[in-house]
Amino acid sequence: MRPRVLSGIQPTGSPHIGNYLGALKNWAKIQYDYDSIYCIVDLHAVTVYQDPAELRAKIEELAGVLLAIGIDPTHSSLIVQSSVAAHAELAWMLTCVTPIGWLERMTQFKAKSEAQESIGSGVMQYPVLMAADILIYQAAIVPVGDDQSQHLELTRDIAQRFNSLYGDTFVVPETRLPTVGARIMGLDEPEKKMSKSAAGSGHAVSLLDPPDVIRKKILRATTDSNPAVDFETAGAGVRNLLAIFQAFTESTDEALRTQFSGMRYGDLKKTVAEAVIAALEPIQKRYREITAETGYIARVLEEGAEKVRPIANDTVKKAKRAMGLYTP
Ligand code: ATP
Ligand code: LTN
């Protein structure tokens, strides 16, 4: 049997080029070599308040985008996390083997808990649920962006701890990062990672942004006080634009240097904007086709869930047995 791949994305905000270059592009690429399951993690989204009607709409929109970027339901299972109840069940079992200290150390937890006065305890449990998403399918490989590396390390620790307490139950998964584009930065704030939930209209390029919006956002991107590209001294903003271009066009380091060394920032931005527009055009076209077909997305999600439920239920049964929980 082919090794299994699992990854997830939250249905919050609009998926952007950081999500695409850090994770989604890889998902589409590796689905032909592995048994792949891709998950819209709505239970993770509600760790912070979401408007119910908006969340519902975002789940379908995201499913449409995932199909449009090339997730092929005849090769991969595309699922919504809450439609496979066993994720939440396994998360409880894993919660019980996870020391609180491990969760308090997570940088995402620290950032989220410092930003708000009162938070739901789900914000702390977030990485345990993520571990459940992965371990429940015995996934060997998890393709994500760099910001998820710490959560993946925690998943490995949880799997190893469970295995050593209760006997070999879970595959210990490996993180798969892209070589270029693992951490795309905000266009307006190149010190911060591009994020769906960040405020500011110039922060992220959404995968569904029309060409004139993409152009405007990239032309306004923060650079530095140099006039033109110098690979030795370029600041974070310029390095980010170069990374976006390289990841979209798959240029080699050498080709990138030849093309951009000494190029004025105005021209750099125009070149990057046109490359992004060209890469997103076929995705947007497919998105329009997919969403025009009534009922297609709902069908794909239902078939996906049906296909993976037996795998998830098997693992839960195995984990219950290992822990001595009642399994008739
Ligand atoms: P939010 O801001 O709501 O947390 P997000 O933009 O961080 O959203 P997620 O749904 O948390 O998006 O992440 C989906 C995938 O995209 C993950 O694999 C994550 O590592 C990757 N990813 C997110 N942001 C970036 C980025 N700026 N660069 C590269 N990869 C990213
Ligand atoms: N926490 C992840 C989303 C996520 C995920 C997963 C990623 C939830 N479950 C399982 C990989 C595997 C994020 O991108 N913020």
C-alpha 145 – ligand 1 centre gap (Å): 7
Please name the residue whose Cα sits nearest to atom 16 of ligand 1.
19
Among all ligands shown, which has an atom nearest to the Cα of 13?
Answer: 1
Q: How far is the CA of 29 from the centre of ligand 2 (A)?
A: 18
* Element at 76 (helix H, strand E): strand 76-80
Name the phi and psi angles at 284, rounded to 5: -70, -35
Pocket of ligand 1 (CB under 6 A): 9-10, 12-13, 18-19, 21-23, 144-145, 147-148, 182-184, 193-197
193 CA closest ligand 1 atom index: 27
Catalytic residue ranges: 112, 193, 196
**74 and 142 in one domain?**
yes
Q: What is the pLDDT of residue 118?
A: 85
CA distances from 110 to 103, 106, 116, 200 (A): 9, 6, 10, 23
Whether the Cβ atoms of residue 63 and residue 31 lie closer than 8 Å to each other: no
Residue-wise DSSP of 211-251: HHHHHHHHHT----S-SB--TTT--HHHHHHHHHHHHHHT-
Does any domain span residue 195?
A: no
Question: Are both 34 and 152 inside the same structural domain?
Answer: yes
Does 233 share its domain with 276?
A: yes
Q: How far is the CA of 313 from the centre of ligand 2 (A)?
A: 20
Give the residue, out of 27, 130, 146, 183, with the most ligand 2 atoms within 8 A of its beta carbon, to mutate for a pocket test.
130
Q: Are residues 168 and 221 in the same domain?
A: no
Which numbered ligand comes closest to the C-alpha of 81?
Answer: 2
The whole-number pLDDT of residue 265 equals 98
Rounded distance from Cα 127 to ligand 2 centre (Å): 8
pLDDT-derived band of residue 221, with 50, 70 and 90 as boundaries? very high
Query: Does the pLDDT at position 254 exceed 90?
Result: yes
State the residue range of the domain holding 21. Answer: 4-177+295-323
What local confidence, expressed as pLDDT, does residue 197 receive? 79
Task: Let me know whether 34 and 113 are in one domain.
Answer: yes
If asked whether residues 277 and 304 sit together in one domain, one would say no
- My answer on whether 38 and 82 are in the same domain is yes
Q: pLDDT grade, residue 199 (50/70/90)?
A: confident
Identify the weakest region by mean pLDDT among 97-106, 189-198, 228-237, 245-254. Answer: 189-198
Domain count, the chain: 2
Q: Assess contact for 136 and 312: CB atoms under 8 A.
A: yes
Residue 222 Cβ inside 6 Å of ligand 2? The answer reads no
Is the domain of 261 the same as that of 300?
no
Q: pLDDT (tens digit, 9 = 90+) per residue, 3-50?
A: 999 999 999 989 999 999 999 999 999 999 999 999 999 999 999 999
Residue 224 has pLDDT above 80, yes or no: yes
Q: What tokens were used for 136?
A: 């429940």
Residue 166 included in any domain:
yes
pLDDT at 313 over 80: yes
Query: For atom 14 of ligand 2, which residue has the closest CA?
Result: 9
CATH of the domain at 153: 3.40.50.620
Question: Could you tell me the pLDDT band of residue 292, with boundaries at 50, 70 and 90?
Answer: very high
- Residue at 201 is within a domain: no
Q: Any idea what the CATH number is for the domain that residue 275 is in?
A: 1.10.240.10
Distance of CA 195 from the midpoint of ligand 1 (Å):
6
Give the bridge partners for 40, in sequence order: 9, 80
In a domain, 196, yes or no: no
Return the pLDDT at 198: 77
The average confidence (pLDDT) of the chain is: 96
Whether 202 maps to a domain, the answer reads no
Q: Is 14 a domain residue?
A: yes
The mean pLDDT of 261-275, rounded to a whole number, is: 98
Specify if 223 maps to a domain: yes
Confidence of residue 135 (pLDDT cuts 50, 70, 90): very high
Is 205 part of a structural domain of the chain? no
Check whether 200 has a pLDDT greater than 80.
Answer: no
pLDDT at site 165: 98
Rounded Cα distance between 169 and 190, Å, is 42
150 and 265, same domain (yes or no): no
Of the pLDDT bands very low, low, confident and very high (cuts 50, 70, 90), residue 1 is confident
Among 83, 93, 90, 88, which Cα is nearest to 60's? 83
Q: Residue 156 and residue 130: Cα distance in Å, rounded?
A: 11
Mark whether 33 and 171 lie in a shared domain: yes
CA 268/CA 119 separation, integer angstroms: 42
pLDDT at res. 303: 98
Has this prediction a pTM greater than 0.85? yes
Amino acid 220: pLDDT: 97
Check whether residue 243 and residue 113 sit in a common domain.
no
112 shares a domain with 221: no
**Residue 177 pLDDT:** 97
